Structure 1
Amino acid sequence: MIPFRNLAETRTPDGARFSLHEHDGEYFLKLNGRQLMGSNSTVSELLLADLACKFRCPVERPTVLIGGLGLGFSLRRVLEINGPHVLAQVSELLPEVVAWNREFLQNLNGKFLDDRRVEVLTRDVFDCIKNGAGQYDAILLDVDNGPTSFVQAKNSRIYSGKGLAMIRRALRPGGRVAFWSAEPEPLFLTSLSRAGFQAEEFEAKSHERAKRAAHRIYVGEVS
C-alpha cells in the first residue's frame, strides 16, 4: 500500500491542525486529520463555480470573489468560463495555503495564482464582503463544510441574517452567490429567501462515478 505523505502543516486561528498530504499522485487537505477536500473528487468544486457564474445576462468584465483557495479547482473553473476580462479575487485566510499552492501544487492549479486575472487576498472573506458593497458579480463560498458546520467558529456570521444581508449588498444587480455544503441544509434555503435572494438548491456529486449526490450547493441571486 502506498503511504500518505505529509507535505506541510499549519494551525488555523482556532488552533486546529490544517495539513496538506499527497497519496499516489493525488493531493488532500485535512483539518485535525479529517479530510476536507481532495484532488480526486472535484466535481462539486467545479459546479460551485459554474452555478455562481451562471448569469442571466452576459457580463463583459465580471468581478468574482472566491472565498477559500483550497486546491484551486474553483479558481481554475472561474477563469475558464469567464474569459480574458474576468477579475478573480481569491480570499484565503491562511497564507500557508497560498504558499502550498505555489510550492507543492504548481502543476495542479497553483500556476493560476500568477494569472494576470487573479488577485490573491490573504484575509478573511467576511471582511472582503463587508467592505465590498456593489463590487461583485459573483461570490463563491467554500470555506466550511456547510452553513452549520464551520472550519472556524466565527464563520457562523457569514450565514447569519446580517451576513447574508452583507453578501446581498456586495453583489451587483443580477449577481449570484453560491455556497458549498457537504450535506443538505434545507433551512438555509429559507434563510437565503428571507434575505431577499432568489434561492435554489442543487445536488452535487463528489466525483463523476459517485452513485449519489451527497453534497449540496445553495445559490442566491439578486434580482
Structure 2
Amino acid sequence: MARFNEIGTAIIPGQGSQLRLLQRNDEFAIKIAGKTGELMNTRLHGSEDALATLACERIANRKDVKVLIGGMGMGFTLAAALGSLKDDAEVTVAELVPEVVEWNRGPLGAASGYPLNDPRTKIHLGDVGQLMKREEGFYDAILLDVDNGPEGLTRKENDWIYSPEGIAEAQSALKSGGILAYWSAGEDPTFTERLRRAGFQVTAETVRAHKPGKGAKHVIWLAW
C-alpha cells in the first residue's frame, strides 16, 4: 500500500501546534504533528455530512436561508449543507486557519466537490464566535464542528463554544425557530443537560463516521 506524503502544514493560531495535510493517491488526511491518529480523513466523513443534513432538513423549505458553519474541515459539512438548501441560501464558513481554506481550494477540495466554488458560499477567516456575537437573530442554522466536541483537543480556546456563555451567544445569533447543531467525537450527557438548561429542546443523534453504517460512532446534538 502506498504511504501518505506530507503536502502541507499550518500553525493553529493561539496554540502553536501544527496541522499536517497528508495525501495517499486520492485519499487525504489531516493530523496534528506529534500526535497519533488522524483528525480527519476523506474516507470517513459520514458524521460531517450528517451535521449538515440533520440540521438543514429542518429549514430547507425556507426562503433566503442563512447558515453559519464553524470549522471548514475537509469541506464535507459545507457540501452537504449546500446540497440540502435552495439556490437563494447563503452559507458562511468561519475558519481560523487560512491554510485549511487554501487546502480546500486546492487538491483536497476534489473529495467534497469543491464547495468553496459555489456562489452561495462565504468565508470568514477568524473565530466563529466573532460572527455569533456580531449577528443577532441572523442565522437559520448554526453548525459547529470546531474541535473534538465538548472535550476540546486542538485548541483550549474552543472550550468557550461549549460553555453556557458560548451557547447563549449561539442562541442569540439564531432566528426564531432556528436550529443549533454540534458535532462531537463522543457522547457527553453533561453537554446535553447544559443545552437544556439554556432553554433548548435537544436530541443527541448517534451517527457513523463511514457510510453506510460503518466506522466510529460520533454524536450530533440538535438544539432548537
TM > 0.5 fold call? yes
1:15 aligns to what SS in structure 2? Answer: coil
1:140 aligns to what SS in structure 2? Answer: strand
- Deviation string, structure 1 residues 41-84 (Cα, Å, up to 9, x no partner): 11101110012213268311110001111110010111111021
* Number of the residue aligned with 1:143: 146
Identical amino acids, percent of aligned pairs:
38
TM normalised by structure 2 equals: 0.93
CA distance in 1, matches of 2:168, 2:206: 25
2:132 to 129, 133, 145: 129
CA distance in 2, matches of 1:112, 1:78: 10
Q: How does 1:1-223 map to 2 (within 5 A)?
A: 1-13=1-13, 14-32=15-33, 33=35, 34-55=37-58, 58-109=61-112, 111-211=114-214, 214-221=217-224
Deviation at 1:110, TM superposition (A): 6.3
Task: Indicate conservation of the 8 Å contact 2:74/2:109, yes or no.
Answer: no
1:206 aligns to what SS in structure 2? Answer: strand
Deviation at 1:149, TM superposition (A): 2.3
Stretches of structure 1 lacking an aligned partner (at least 5 in a row)? none
Deviation at 1:107, TM superposition (A): 2.1
- Deviation string, structure 1 residues 11-51 (Cα, Å, up to 9, x no partner): 11201111111123211111234311111011101110012
Task: Indicate conservation of the 8 Å contact 1:203/1:213, yes or no.
Answer: no
Deviation at 1:153, TM superposition (A): 0.5
Task: Indicate conservation of the 8 Å contact 1:65/1:88, yes or no.
Answer: yes
Distance 1:125 1:57, change over 3 A: closer
Q: Between Structure 1 and Structure 2, how many residues are aligned?
A: 221
Task: Indicate conservation of the 8 Å contact 2:79/2:113, yes or no.
Answer: no
Deviation at 1:98, TM superposition (A): 0.7
CA distance in 1, matches of 2:162, 2:57: 22
Task: Indicate conservation of the 8 Å contact 1:55/1:174, yes or no.
Answer: no
Task: Indicate conservation of the 8 Å contact 1:66/1:75, yes or no.
Answer: yes
TM normalised by structure 1 equals: 0.94
Task: Indicate conservation of the 8 Å contact 2:143/2:181, yes or no.
Answer: yes
1:35 partner letter: E
Distance 1:209 1:79, change over 3 A: closer
Stretches of structure 2 lacking an aligned partner (at least 5 in a row)? none
Task: Indicate conservation of the 8 Å contact 1:53/1:138, yes or no.
Answer: yes
Task: Indicate conservation of the 8 Å contact 2:60/2:84, yes or no.
Answer: no
2:166 aligns to what SS in structure 1? Answer: helix
1:35 aligns to what SS in structure 2? Answer: coil
1:77 partner letter: A
CA distance in 1, matches of 2:153, 2:214: 26
Distance 1:28 1:83, change over 3 A: same
CA distance in 2, matches of 1:57, 1:37: 27
Task: Indicate conservation of the 8 Å contact 1:64/1:88, yes or no.
Answer: yes
Superposed CA RMSD in Å reads 1.6
CA distance in 1, matches of 2:126, 2:113: 18
2:68 aligns to what SS in structure 1? Answer: strand
- Name whichever of 5-14 and 104-113 sits farther off: 104-113
